[in-house]
Amino acid sequence: MASADEQVVKALAKQARVLRRRVIEMLGEAGSGHPGGSLSAADIITVLYWHEMKIDPKRPDWPERDRFVLSKGHAAPILYAALAEKGYFPLEDLMTLRKLGSHLQGHPDSNKTPGVEVPTGSLGQGLSIANGMALAAKMDGRSYRVYALLGDGEIEEGMIWEAAMTAAHYKLDNLVAIIDNNNLQIDGDVREVIGVNHIADRFRSFGWYAVEIDGHDIGQIIAALRLARGIKEKPTVIVAHTVKGKGVSFMENQVGWHGTAPSKEQAEAALLELAAGEE
């Protein structure tokens, strides 16, 4: 895969750091939420929203927009951070996360939040929804593409593999599934909980084109998404190897940070560390 322009990569890496700061700020304020899987997905979300997807924040319902489905809906903070930074709603709304009356609920709700395509959070369902969107594009003769971000623990769900068979059957080459493969779920190491491994090979056996990347290497993410555009008559899965809690040293690879928000003091320490990383 060809490497991305160095300046583009630097700009996207900077934006990803901004999103990570937003996640810590809003979770510190809310006192609840999911930092680990939000931080592990930051680089992927950044490349999608600032480089890959065809979107228009001024027209959230634009028929030709690319669609993004956050199947691992508990990682809503990283999606909200991206949507606010892109201008779908005011940045100050981020500090209302999970508060009474806020449109930023603990899991995404398309009825309340501009830019959210579908309510998610009941794990295992997002890929099937993405299938429907991609199939609708084919039937309607539209050019938009569909991207679904799944957790590696989430793919323990049987519904994922029914959806995988369906996508291959209908040759949904306008569909890209991205696996945030950080190896940790709420109950521990995914490889020990139910033996989730050889993910790329499993998808290949279901008729998908599969590629594995470093999910924190901006250039690799860009290249994989570009490669997916050239794959015909089969869906693509990108298995992105990531680190839970990426960017905050005391959160990295710690399962306890799956669904635990930082205290005010911990949030301050995390923000200082993230700021130091920009120097």
- Domain for residue 74, yes or no? yes
Kindly give the confidence (pLDDT) of every residue in the chain, 279 residues in length, as a single tens digit, with 9 standing for 90 and above. Answer: 556 699 999 999 999 999 999 999 999 999 999 999 999 999 999 999 999 999 999 999 999 999 999 999 999 999 999 999 999 999 999 999 999 999 999 999 999 999 999 999 899 999 999 999 999 999 999 999 999 999 999 999 999 999 999 999 999 999 999 999 999 888 888 888 887 889 999 999 999 999 999 999 999 999 999 999 999 999 999 999 999 999 999 999 999 999 999 999 999 999 999 998 765
Provide the pairing of β-strand 188-189 with 184-185.
Answer: antiparallel
Q: Long-range contacts for 133-142 (Cβ within 8 Å, ≥24 apart)?
A: 133/67, 133/69, 134/167, 134/170, 134/172, 134/174, 134/175, 134/235, 135/170, 135/172, 137/174, 138/170, 138/172, 138/174, 142/63, 142/64
Position 3 scores a pLDDT of 60
Q: How much is the pLDDT for 144?
A: 98
Q: Residue type at 219?
A: G
Domain with 269, as residue range(s), is 6-276
Q: For residue 73, tell me if it sits in a domain.
A: yes
- The pLDDT value given to residue 276: 85
Helices (H), the chain: 6-30, 36-40, 42-47, 76-86, 126-140, 158-169, 190-193, 199-205, 218-229, 264-276
Output the pTM of the full model: 0.96
Query: Residues 6 or more apart from 89 whose CB is under 8 A from it?
Result: 83, 103, 113, 114, 115
Number of domains the chain is built from: 1
Domain membership flag for residue 32: yes
CATH number of the domain that residue 259 is part of: 3.40.50.970
Cβ proximity of 51 and 131 under 8 Å: no
CA-atom Rg of the chain in angstroms: 17
Q: Distances in Å between the alpha carbon of 69 and those of 125, 145, 194, 256, 268?
A: 10, 11, 25, 26, 31
Residue 242 placed within a domain: yes
Residue 22, domain member (yes or no): yes
* CB hemisphere CA count around 187 (13 angstroms): 10
Is 45 within the bounds of a domain?
A: yes
pLDDT at residue number 99: 96
Among the listed residues 189, 192, 257, the one whose alpha carbon sits nearest the alpha carbon of residue 38: 257
Please give the full DSSP string across 84-143, using - where no structure is assigned: HHHTSS-GGGGGGTT-TT-S--SS--TTTSTT--S---STT-HHHHHHHHHHHHHHHT--
Q: What is the pLDDT of residue 53?
A: 98
Q: What pLDDT is recorded for position 121? A: 85
Kindly state whether residue 1 falls inside one of the protein's structural domains. Answer: no
